[in-house]
Structures are given as structure tokens and as C-alpha cells.
Amino acid sequence: MPSIVIVGAQWGDEGKGKAVDALGNRVDFCVRYSGGNNAGHTVVVGDETFTMHLLPSGVLNPSCTCVIGNGVVVDLDVLAGELAGLRERGLDVEHPLISANAHIITPYHQVLDKVTERFAGNKRIGTTGRGIGPAYSDKINRIGIRAQDLLDPDGLAEKVEASLASKNQLLAKIYNRAAINPQVVTEALLAHADTVRPYIVDAARLLNQALDDGKVVLFEGAQAHHLDVDFGTYPYVTSSNPTAGGACTGTGVGPTRIDRVVGIVKAYTTRVGEGPMPTELLDETGEQLRAQGNEYGATTGRPRRCGWFDAPLVRQAVMINGFTDVFLTKLDVLTGWAELPVCVGYMADAHKIDGWPLTEREVEAAEPIYEILPGWTEDISQARHFGDLPANCQAYVRRLEALIGCRISGIGVGPGREQSIIINTLL
């Protein structure tokens, strides 16, 4: 099984690091294909916790080559900062390879992200403020800056100037902000050129060659299905395609070369930022879930919105991503509840909805229909085989499996690397 895509099935923060860990040291290439430093993945190694936003999680594995695909938007300051941070902690990490076609987040993208959110008032998206949306807007508008532009300083200066010509009008005349000096931006980007230049590559060719050679390639999704700009809860989404198809368009590897697509599913539901969330619990139970699951954003520190498991939400992700397997995370967080409600459908405007709602309006109006499953009180953090789980816990997993329509091949029972139950090996 040489190529495997990992995708979050809900609204992010499903604990993708857990599944990546389960692949052990067998991954030769770890590739990011969408998003930027809006992501946040936490990897626990022994007593140490590492949180990364832009670097692929394979960076901690010395035998793994990390690649940032063309579908990613790269903040060069963040990249340098994350590498320096890991090296300061004594890790001998390699600089990732970067697709020549990957777009660069510039300081003006960050300014625009923040200022447009402020202007949007109660219609704001709740972005991470990292410049992600404006960088992708420039890509689609064909006025973006790409990694390869660092190889051509004069061309870069022209592009920055052209891009800022209209943005400065907008900043000064609409948003009442100071104009941004194109020369300062160009210099800031070029300050990274000497370091980054040797790592700018034709990533599509490299990865296809790696697959020809039988190497194991892991495509590491950032964000998640329901934050996808096409399939998520639009407009409360990110500006790229975290769904499995993004692994192809975001790297240049064709769909026939993908062997396995693994959905990462949290045993309950969380969301950061604005937008609809049918099973959100605004009461003490929600607070208890947040406390037990330590549900605070890895990127912004914001408290995550928490709720019960939403089966139609995940079933939709199973269909669109074509998951071959699901890895269920944070099952241990549910220990101790007498009853566990699971959403099996919705009511909206007095109609029962089968599956995921069709329109934005229906998603906003969706009221969950719950099936109540019995809980368990036994500690499951030491379980390493499915049979070690208490009967009610096994029944919970089996019921989720039936409701989402995909086999559950792995289960996370604690934050530690070894705290997993592997039912079907992922590689």
C-alpha cells in the first residue's frame, strides 16, 4: 500500500497525528496538500509535545522526506520559525521540499484577512487571521506570488508591486488603513530566498517518481471535510480543498495512484470559528466535553465548540472522500457518561431530513434527532485490543460504524503514541 491520504471528517482537530503515528516509521514521504499555517497538529512523543502549523508531521521522523505541495499556501516566516523552534529543542530536522508552484502568504494577505473579518461584523467567518483566504484569492485571481518567484528577484518585485497597486487603494480608501510599501514586502520575502532556494522543486515529478520506486507516500490533510471550500458549511469554511481530491490537485499525483483514504473521526464533534454545528451543546454537558477532551484550538487557543457525535455529518464525508477506513479518535473522552446521544438525522422547518441537508438554510435550521446509547465507566486508556473495551464501548463503536457506513480500523484511547487500538493495519 504505497500511497495513503489522511483527511479529517468533521471540522478539524480530529487528532490526525494519532493516525500518522500509527503508520510508524514506514512513511518515506509526508506531503501537505492544502491549507497553510491555519492548521495545527499536535504530536506527543514520550513526555514531549510538539505543535506544528505548517510543517508536515513527518518532520520528526528522520527517515521521512517532507514535502509542501502546490496546493499549500506558505508563510516563509512561519516556516523558518517552526524549523528553528524544533532545532532549539535539540531535534535535527530537515527543511521540507517545497513545490515551485506553491503560493506564498505575504504580510499584505495577513493585513487583509484581519481587516476584512473586522469589517464583516457578525458575518465574520472566524478565520485564523493568518492570511489564508487572501492568499488563495490571489491565486485564483492570478496575481499570487509563488515559491518559484523567489528564484527571480526582479520578477518578484514586479509581481508584488502589481498586486499591491489595487490592494493599497482598498486598504487606504475603503478600510482606512496605511498603504503597504511593495519594496519592504519584496525585501522581507527575499530575506528567506537563500535558505529556501535549494528546497524549491518540481514536487509532482518527485512524488510520482517516489511512487514508481515503491516508496510509501503519506498525503496529510489539514483542516477537514466540512471546512472544504466546495463541500463544507460554506461560507464558514477555509479557502482550499482539504477533501481527498485535494491530495491530487494539491500535489500533482493522479487519482489512480492513491491506494487508501483514511478518515479521521473524533468520537464526538467539535468546531472552532463561526458557522452551523447541529449537535453543538451550549450547556454544562458541552463544557464538560470541552474540559475532558481539552478542546482548545492548537492554532489560536480558542475554546472549541463541543457536541455529541453527528452521524450524517461523518457519513457525508465518507461518501465524498471515498474513505476506505476510519480512525476513531478520543474515545476515552467519552468514559463516564451514563448515556451517549448520537445524532442519526435532523429535523429542519418541521421536515425530517435524510442524510446531510441540501442547502445552507437547512444546515442552519437542522435540529438533531438523537439515538441514546448506553455509556461506560471503565477506564479504557490501557486497552490495546478491541476485545479489551467494555461491552457498551464496543457497542458504541459498532453502532457508529453502521451509521457512517465505513469500517473503523483504528481507535485512539489516549493522547500518547502507544494509546491506540489497531483493528486493520493502515499500511
CB of 370 to ligand IMP, least distance (A): 25
- Residue closer to ligand IMP by CB (options 137, 394) is 137
Q: Which helix (H) or strand (E) holds 193?
A: helix 193-196
CB of 259 to ligand IMP, least distance (A): 25
Residues within window 39-68 making contact with ligand IMP, judged by CB under 6 A: 39-40
Three-class SS of residue 315?
Answer: helix
Whether 192 sits among the annotated catalytic residues: the reply is no
Tell me which of 222, 262, 318, 383 binds ligand IMP, using CB under 6 A: 222
Are 267 and 8 within 8 A, CB to CB?
Answer: no
Residues within window 294-323 making contact with ligand IMP, judged by CB under 6 A: none
Residue 334 sits in the site that holds ligand IMP (CB under 6 A): no
The β-bridge relationship of strands 3-8 and 217-220 is: parallel
Residue with cell 494539491: 250
Question: Given 21, 28, 41, 53, which residue is catalytic?
Answer: 41
Helices (H), 45-181: 76-88, 107-120, 132-140, 153-169
Tell me which of 3, 57, 110, 128 binds ligand IMP, using CB under 6 A: 128
The residue number whose beta carbon is nearest to ligand IMP equals: 273
User: How many Å apart are CA 377 and CA 369, to the nearest integer?
Assistant: 25
Cβ-based neighbours of 308, under 8 Å, separated by 6 or more: 268, 269, 279, 281, 340, 341, 342, 343, 368, 370
Tell me which of 2, 6, 13, 332 binds ligand IMP, using CB under 6 A: 13
Cβ-based neighbours of 422, under 8 Å, separated by 6 or more: 22, 409, 410
Query: x/- binding map, residues 130-169, to ligand IMP, per CB under 6 A?
Result: x-xx------------------------------------
Residue 239 sits in the site that holds ligand IMP (CB under 6 A): yes
Residue 238 sits in the site that holds ligand IMP (CB under 6 A): yes
Which cell is 292 given? 475532558
For residue 336, which of 397, 401, 382, 288 has the smallest C-alpha distance?
A: 288
DSSP category for residue 148: G
CB of 348 to ligand IMP, least distance (A): 22
Tell me which of 54, 66, 272, 343 binds ligand IMP, using CB under 6 A: 272
Which cell is 46 given? 514520550
- What is the DSSP secondary-structure string of 67-99? EE-TTBEE-HHHHHHHHHHHHHTT--PPPPEEE
Tell me which of 55, 125, 258, 333 binds ligand IMP, using CB under 6 A: 125
Q: What is the largest CA-CA distance in the chain?
A: 67
Q: Is-cis flag, bond preceding 235, omega within 30?
A: yes
- Residue closer to ligand IMP by CB (options 208, 300) is 300
Are 109 and 97 within 8 A, CB to CB?
Answer: no
Residue 127 sits in the site that holds ligand IMP (CB under 6 A): yes
Whether 385 sits among the annotated catalytic residues: the reply is no
User: How many Å apart are CA 382 and CA 332, to the nearest integer?
Assistant: 10
Tell me which of 85, 107, 126, 345 binds ligand IMP, using CB under 6 A: 126
CB of 390 to ligand IMP, least distance (A): 31
Residue 99 sits in the site that holds ligand IMP (CB under 6 A): no
For residue 422, count other CB atoms closer than 10 A to its CB: 14
Residue 269 sits in the site that holds ligand IMP (CB under 6 A): no
- Residue closer to ligand IMP by CB (options 3, 128) is 128
Residue 225 sits in the site that holds ligand IMP (CB under 6 A): no
Question: Which residues are catalytically annotated?
Answer: 13, 41
Residues that bind ligand IMP (CB under 6 A): 11-13, 38-40, 125-128, 130, 132-133, 222-223, 227, 236, 238-239, 272-273
